[in-house]
Chains A and B, each alone.
Chain A
């Protein structure tokens, strides 16, 4: 983090809805250009975190985007953020061009950029199609184009692939990889973790409004459950040869199974390790 400009700084973020604490003392910092996966079950506080970052809801604590306070200068903060909601609700009678034209007017963006963005999200042929007639995947891509209208340095993507089938999800994640290459900071809230290892630099996990895990992908890859199992890179050694070798040096291994490391395994291991550390008596 030290070699990167701080793009997002969250300190002691707490959000209450009546007596319920939707967010409870959340603290993290994101550097410019980082792609961060924000994970957690429903109700963990992911969307509420986005609302606080956007400065559209009141909260306790401090939230700054690019050094600007979201609580005090919300409009200025929102100028630096492209937000993609889980279910973009465009007026169904407006064409893709009209949707982008309206949002460009609101953002004060160059309307010419709308055409370029339609091309970037592969919707040029649908420019005259009403938003209500677009498929779910196309609507998400239109929302991504809308989020990019003001060329924001920070993108908040709230469950962008939640309602998409596998093909559309793959296409959408390809677009996010493109954004990564453009050097934007992206916070991606999602339930689907299948390609996160490829896309994200870092993972933040929320549980009941609290920070359960904040780790880089490298830290996740190193995470393990001590004393239960190990993944060993043996540079192509055959399983049977390895098993014989282990027995030969007195290690009572029963079986050696080749595995491919999945992001889910790494995440589960990191979370389990974290919870074990918390339970240890001090």
Chain B
């Protein structure tokens, strides 16, 4: 077993035994079930909705909850070892810094993905048992997008962990990132659109600055292919790029959001004197 695999295996084992990840999976399942159940109730008949409506309902839940857990656990990765006085000991082993960081990152993404799949899977099974129609493809697509978002946000959390002196500071930075990406960015976009002549292209570029928005739009493209919910911006995207083009560009941007923070984290970790 190489060093990356060894670190990854340990990280998965530690994360799975962490109560936070279990709580996250359980909360995901319960909230997905609850949203589906209550959504149908609001339409006048109590019962479980089908997959398509459920995926739309829980999209916002995914975009809030997944980044929160990914950023938090990522923030604890290196800073936690530093706090426990264990980082120098790990670095004294025959491994490179990048191997330690990549192993921790891969382990966390795997563990959070497993918890997400478990939560989603339990909710999906329950909904499939009661709903009249199934849209498994869309449900799975949303799951893939959530895991991609987990990969991005874990990387950002790891960067926060590398540059921080301790876990509390890392968590503080991670929560600021979460607040900005999940809650504040939409307000910034609204302000920019109303106060500047940003245009469709400018708005698309601005969207790519936030991985949460990228995932939101990718999900909407496949949930509502006519993009009516996005208004004039949706029309612009469809007319200039088409569904395939928009998916390709947004997916590439998401991939960059995975690669760039991880590369930056490795570079910063190498430049530190731990």
Which residue of A has the minimal Cβ distance to B90?
Answer: A106
Contacts of A242 in B (CB 8 A): none
Q: Would you give the 0/1 interface string for A106-119, flagging 1 where the beta carbon is closer than 8 Å to chain B?
A: 11100000000000
Number of A interface residues, CB 8 Å? 27
Is B92 positioned at the interface, with any CB of A under 8 Å from its CB?
yes
Knowing A105-B6, A105-B9, A106-B3, the reply to whether A56 touches B92 (Cβ < 8 A) is yes
The answer to whether A89 touches B94 (Cβ under 8 A) is no
Q: Would you give the 0/1 interface string for B1-21, flagging 1 where the beta carbon is closer than 8 Å to chain A?
A: 111011101100010010000
Partner of B91, one of A56, A81, A88, A102: A56
The answer to whether A89 touches B95 (Cβ under 8 A) is no
The answer to whether A107 touches B5 (Cβ under 8 A) is no
Knowing A106-B93, A150-B94, the reply to whether A56 touches B88 (Cβ < 8 A) is yes
A40 to B211, CA, bound (A): 53
The answer to whether A106 touches B86 (Cβ under 8 A) is no
Is A122 positioned at the interface, with any CB of B under 8 Å from its CB?
no
Within A90-104, the residues touching B (CB, 8 Å) are: 90-91, 93, 102-103
Is A221 positioned at the interface, with any CB of B under 8 Å from its CB?
no
Partner of B94, one of A58, A87, A93, A108: A108
Partner of A87, one of B1, B2, B85, B95: B85
Partner of A108, one of B1, B14, B84: B1
Give chain A's interface secondary structure class: mixed
Number of B interface residues, CB 8 Å? 23
Is A78 positioned at the interface, with any CB of B under 8 Å from its CB?
yes
A56 to B2, CA, bound (A): 19
Is A85 positioned at the interface, with any CB of B under 8 Å from its CB?
yes
Is B274 positioned at the interface, with any CB of A under 8 Å from its CB?
yes
Is B137 positioned at the interface, with any CB of A under 8 Å from its CB?
no
Partner of A102, one of B10, B92, B94, B96: B10
Contacts of B17 in A (CB 8 A): 93
Is A170 positioned at the interface, with any CB of B under 8 Å from its CB?
no
Within B70-96, the residues touching A (CB, 8 Å) are: 84-86, 88-89, 91-96
Is A79 positioned at the interface, with any CB of B under 8 Å from its CB?
yes
A51 to B273, CA, bound (A): 10
Is A57 positioned at the interface, with any CB of B under 8 Å from its CB?
yes
Knowing A56-B92, A79-B94, A106-B6, the reply to whether A89 touches B84 (Cβ < 8 A) is yes
Partner of B273, one of A58, A79, A81, A93: A58
A106 to B7, CA, bound (A): 7
A87 to B10, CA, bound (A): 21
A93 to B84, CA, bound (A): 13
Within B13-45, the residues touching A (CB, 8 Å) are: 14, 17
The answer to whether A107 touches B10 (Cβ under 8 A) is no
Which residue of B has the minimal Cβ distance to A51?
Answer: B88
A88 to B10, CA, bound (A): 17
A156 to B92, CA, bound (A): 11
A80 to B9, CA, bound (A): 24
Contacts of B86 in A (CB 8 A): 89-91
The answer to whether A85 touches B5 (Cβ under 8 A) is no
Contacts of A57 in B (CB 8 A): 273-274
Contacts of A105 in B (CB 8 A): 1, 5-6, 9-10
Is A13 positioned at the interface, with any CB of B under 8 Å from its CB?
no
Within A240-282, the residues touching B (CB, 8 Å) are: none
Contacts of B84 in A (CB 8 A): 89
The answer to whether A75 touches B85 (Cβ under 8 A) is no
A20 to B1, CA, bound (A): 41
A104 to B3, CA, bound (A): 10
Knowing A105-B9, A106-B3, A106-B6, the reply to whether A78 touches B94 (Cβ < 8 A) is yes
Cβ distance B261 to chain A, nearest Cβ, rounded Å: 24
Is A172 positioned at the interface, with any CB of B under 8 Å from its CB?
no
A102 to B7, CA, bound (A): 8
A239 to B85, CA, bound (A): 55
Residue among B2, B3, B14, B92 with max Cβ neighbours from chain A (10 Å)? B92
The answer to whether B1 touches A75 (Cβ under 8 A) is no
Which residue of A has the minimal Cβ distance to B5?
Answer: A105
The answer to whether B93 touches A78 (Cβ under 8 A) is yes
**Which B residues form the contact surface with A (CB < 8 A)?**
1-3, 5-7, 9-10, 14, 17, 84-86, 88-89, 91-96, 273-274
26 examples of A-B residue contacts, CB within 8 angstroms: A17-B273, A56-B91, A57-B273, A58-B273, A74-B96, A75-B95, A78-B92, A78-B94, A81-B92, A83-B92, A85-B85, A85-B88, A85-B89, A88-B89, A89-B84, A89-B89, A90-B86, A91-B14, A105-B6, A106-B3, A106-B6, A106-B95, A108-B2, A108-B3, A108-B94, A150-B94
Nearest first, the 10 closest Cβ-Cβ pairs linking A and B are A105-B6, A89-B86, A79-B94, A83-B92, A78-B94, A89-B85, A56-B91, A106-B6, A105-B1, A89-B84
